[in-house]
Amino acid sequence: MERGKVYLVGAGPGDPKLITVRGLQAIERADVIVYDRLASPRLLKHRKPDAELVFVGKLPDKHMMKQEDINRLLVDLALQGKVVTRLKGGDPSVFGRVGEEAELLADHAVPFEIIPGITSAIAVPAYAGIPVTHRDFTSSVAIVTGHEYPNKTYTKLDWEHLAKGIGTLVFLMGVANLEQISEELIRHGKPADLPVALIRWGTWTEQQTLTGTLADISAKAKEAGFQSPAVIIIGEVVKLREKLAWFEKKPLFGKRVLVTRARSQASELVAMIEELGGEPVEFPVIKLQPPSSPDAQRMLDEALRGLGSYNWIVFTSTNGVEFFFRRMRELRLDIRSLSGVRIAAVGPKTAEALESRGLLVETLPGEFHADELLAELGKVVRAGERALLPTADIARNALPQGLRSLGLEVNEVDVYENVPEVEGGEDVVRLLEEGQLHITTFTSSSTVTNLIGALEKLGVQNPVSLLKNTEIACIGPKTEATLAGYELAAAYMPQEATISSLVESIAAGRAVKAGEPAGS
């Protein structure tokens, strides 16, 4: 059997966007991913659908798998012909024991690559506003292990040279030995008032920073219950934190936000949450797909082949636009089929999707809702005209009924359908139960009903009660009404039915009520 290959990858300090391009490629091509607790689980979403996951995480006082067994596992998997990605927090060459893993691979002639990652020794201080070097303070930095292997004391460290010859000192994995580290440095010449910072879970949503001096940092850490994983930074550069701290000042810092939109349309919301310092947790409780019913497929195809017989086409979402034109391409129909047809849209994003295809919208409601669209259309339509309404299979009846009340002959066809999803829901349940999800977002009524249904399928006895432990943000009065039906209240409901307005209202820290200008 042909030997496989092993990629020894540094995942970076925690923020999933800090992985290298090469590291991400290794995740995407792996047959098996062997990972630890300091690698962001969000990186695993980039794996192949059939990739195997093996967790070998380590805690300070407990190992899920001994290092020797991990080394052997990598060899065995590669000898089975598999492509293996060993995903390690930070940089694998900085106290990551990559040398031991690579040695055994080399001994068995297994091809491997070491793919560097951004080390937490530099990235974590930067996220706390502490550059490890600064020409006004120091031009040198030392990265030191906070504990020696196996279970040795600090006799191997040259404390005298660390204390006298190095500017900034960065200790990794050293919180448990913080008191001894401080005492040794003071004993060998470091001033007792030298600034110190402890940064726990740096670059993650849970990032915490504690500052002090060599003389008092140990007592402060004990009082605060400060635990690993944490980085210790010792030196004058710590003084810069008060001025340069940036990550913790972002509007959504410390907030973990549940995104329930379909995976195909969640990217905009996810990107905005990340930009504002929050951590999006994707649980796409809806999957969008073409109609599965033969009757629905037939009705859609007949409508598309007869587009010239309609006076109006009314689009209610970007999804409707996407699936409409996707089916047109499949039927080998082009934009000339729409000659003479007038187009209306609900929402600016829907209008943008149409304009990107060379189609200008004649009617766009000022308030972005279907009710306002009917009011606008009432000014321009004539009784007896024909309107095509391409929607989802679960679209509500108000719009087609309203169009008919205007005297239009309406043909309502399904261009896509919503299918419930539960994949990846176990992690969401755990986060909800542990109180680690702070905000839940809903962008449609179906995301509400599907999330509650998905939680029930995952064994949650009372999903509504669980969701009440989070703040809820939703788009549109219909979604808000659906929430109310479950006795759930929206903390954030922006005036404009747009993703940007929703995120803006969350970032502002309060709801933007109906009738109130967004961002006021």
Structural element, H or E, at residue 448: helix 445-457
CA 175 – CA 160 distance, rounded (Å):
21
CA 263 – CA 286 distance, rounded (Å):
8
Query: Which position among 31, 36, 91, 414 bears the catalytic label?
Result: 36
Beta-carbon count within 10 A of 264 CB: 13
Instruction: Give 3-state DSSP helix, strand, coil % of the chain, rounded to 5.
Output: 40, 20, 40
Are 408 and 387 in contact by the 8 Å Cβ rule? The answer is yes
CA 464 – CA 489 distance, rounded (Å):
11
- Token readout for 420 is 């419930």
According to DSSP, the β-strands at 471-474 and 62-63 are: unpaired
Are 193 and 214 in contact by the 8 Å Cβ rule? The answer is yes
Catalytic status, residue 173: yes
54 three-class SS: strand
Are 233 and 200 in contact by the 8 Å Cβ rule? The answer is no
CA 171 – CA 80 distance, rounded (Å):
39
- Euclidean distance between the first and the last CA atom of the chain, given in angstroms as a whole number: 66
292 three-class SS: coil
Catalytic status, residue 216: no
Within 8 A by CB and 6+ apart from 519, the residues are: 504, 505, 508, 512
Helices and strands: H and E segment counts in the chain: 19, 21
CA 5 – CA 85 distance, rounded (Å):
8
DSSP string computed for 460-509: -S-HHHHHTTSEEEE-SHHHHHHHHHTT---SB--SS-SHHHHHHHHHTT
Residue-level length of the chain:
520
CA 98 – CA 114 distance, rounded (Å):
8
Cβ neighbourhood burial of 367 (10 Å; 0-12, 13-18, 19+): middle
Residue written as token pair 């005297």 = 407
Structural element, H or E, at residue 373: helix 370-377
Query: Which position among 5, 88, 173, 328 bears the catalytic label?
Result: 173
Our CA angle for 310, 311, 317, nearest 5°, is 85
Catalytic status, residue 328: no
List, by residue number, the catalytic residues: 36, 58, 173
